[in-house]
Chain A
Amino acid sequence: MGTSVAAPTEQTATEHVPAAQAAAVAAAPADSSTRTGLLIIGASQSGVQLAVSLRALGFDEHITLLGDEDHRPYQRPALSKEFLQGTVESESLIFRSNEYWAEHNVDLVKGEYIVRIDKEADGSGVAHSSSGRQFPFKRLALTVGARARKLEIEGGGLGGVLYLRNADDALALKARVGDAQDVVVIGGGFIGLEAASSLQKMGKNVTVLEFGPRLVGRAVGEETAEYFLQAHRARGLDIRLSTSAKRFTAGAGGADDGGAVAGVELQDGTVLPAQIVLVGIGVIPNTQLAEQLGLAVDNGIVVDRFALASDGSTVAIGDCANMPNPVPGSQPGERIRLESVNNAIEHAKVAAYSLTGRREEYAGIPWFWSNQADLKLQIAGLCNGYDQTVLRRDGERGKFSVLYYRLGRVIAADCVNAPLDFMAVKNALAKGHNIPAGAAADPATPPQDDHHGQLTALRQ
């Protein structure tokens, strides 16, 4: 340690290092004199929660919370919803005030992208950033999240072909929205549908292209996917299933036009006009650092029930981590990588326990939400492996939910504009109760917990 000096150019410049940032800080100081107790790489939902939880648990070592973005840590969900529509201010998205970090002895480092880490067997080491700074640490946490999957087709580099993963992406999108009339969204998953609904609400003519035969992939069941398809079409979204883009065409003026996208050519030759193309085709976990460290990686950084990576000392949490399925009663050996706020928070808590010497397994009921136009989807549990569904639909009040069962026990629910159903299932799962299928079928009464949940009583 200490002798190996990184030549930053040796490292392949990863695609998401902002150019300006890579060029900045020519002779940054090497701050190797101060060794932080815990270096958290990635300053977003899971990194922030880890720092906050550690302080709540009395962890008293110095913490460095480091990220490559030039923003104070903020929440992502609004980027495709309220923030895009301009109904919330960017300030509202900030997790904690600067005073909070100062008071809690957490150093917030912005705009530093870590390209390499030298690590010792005892868990300590030094992280090197693309600007040449060094961040020595006693213990390391990787909360590096995921990046948008790129669509590699002709014209993919044209101006106006955009992604939506972080605040800079959202700002770039917002900057173009004013001039655009036609938007093509590629990908009918959560981000694509949320952004499509937002843009439609802002008066744009929006078409959604989905490669698969239904919306929202495998995240929800067939009935929910169909419900969203009908609901969005009824609200005027042009959704084309089993359709993919062949190439993006540039404006008639070609290069003179500034190399901006003007249309999307489909496989069948149709060309849809588009001044903005928003690609939302999923994410790839950031495992580059873990690989360089020699940690086990398999669709994410492989961690155990205590959020420890294969070296037994580095913790990895949130979108970047592949962990044992936390749902009580799941198959032994079953692994999962979740992309949600709830998971980032719960997983961070487990890591915080781990780092303070407590062994607390992650056992939780994953949950998720997505707001699309006036449709509020809330998902409780994981529906993998269901063998029965119960549909609850109250057309008059616009409510819809599906409860998923395996061997007669409720395991999950997708609820649209039906918070009571969502809460009932989430609470039942958390308490290990069941909601017998027969008792759930009538949409007019709340789902009945087999322990006669208070929800039902309260609601009467």
Chain B
Amino acid sequence: MPTVHFTDAEGAVRDVQGNPGDSVMETAVRNGVPGIVAECGGSLSCATCHVFVRQDCLSKLPPMEDMEDEMLYGTAVDREGNSRLSCQVRLTDELELFVTTPETQV
């Protein structure tokens, strides 16, 4: 089972197991991980599912599409080089992902 390690802005870590095919956002929200709001439920419309992906994991992810790229300019906490919208990142069996949630999403 893929695992996502969520670190919040204060440094608290939460490990959540997810299902292959689910997005990182879904995995977080269903389990009530604070720090991911995901208003639009994964429709790529809200930018409230912003995460910072640990550098070594970043290269394992498929590149982002233009729409995600544009949406990232509207996140509540400024984007960084390792920013992604977690609703666009899907879990796979091999993936062990480390992400940090921003201080706020709205």
Contact = CB atoms under 8 A, between A and B. Distances in A.
Interface of A: 52, 56, 75, 77-78, 81-82, 88, 92-97, 99-100, 103-104, 341-342, 345, 369, 371, 376, 378, 417, 419-420, 422-424, 426-427, 454-455, 458-459
The 10 A-B residue pairs with the shortest CB-CB distance in the complex, in nearest-first order? A423-B74, A369-B45, A419-B70, A75-B41, A97-B30, A419-B71, A100-B32, A420-B70, A455-B73, A458-B73
A376 B47 CA distance: 14
Contact of A92 (B22, B71, B78): B22
A369 B32 contact: no
Nearest to A342: B39
Interface residues of B, number: 23
Contacts of B73: 419-420, 423, 455, 458-459
B2 interface: no
Given A420-B73, A455-B73, A100 B30 contact: yes
B58 interface: no
Contacts of B29: 95-96
B43 A369 contact: yes
A326 to B, nearest CB: 14
Q: Is the interface of B mostly helix, strand, loop or mixed?
A: loop
A420 B32 contact: no
Contact of A454 (B39, B43, B44, B78): B78
A52 B32 contact: yes
Contact of B74 (A93, A341, A426): A426
B34 interface: yes
Nearest to A104: B32
Contacts of B53: none
Contacts of A95: 29-30
B67 interface: yes
Contacts of B70: 419-420, 423
Interface in B43-79: 43-47, 67, 70-71, 73-74, 78-79
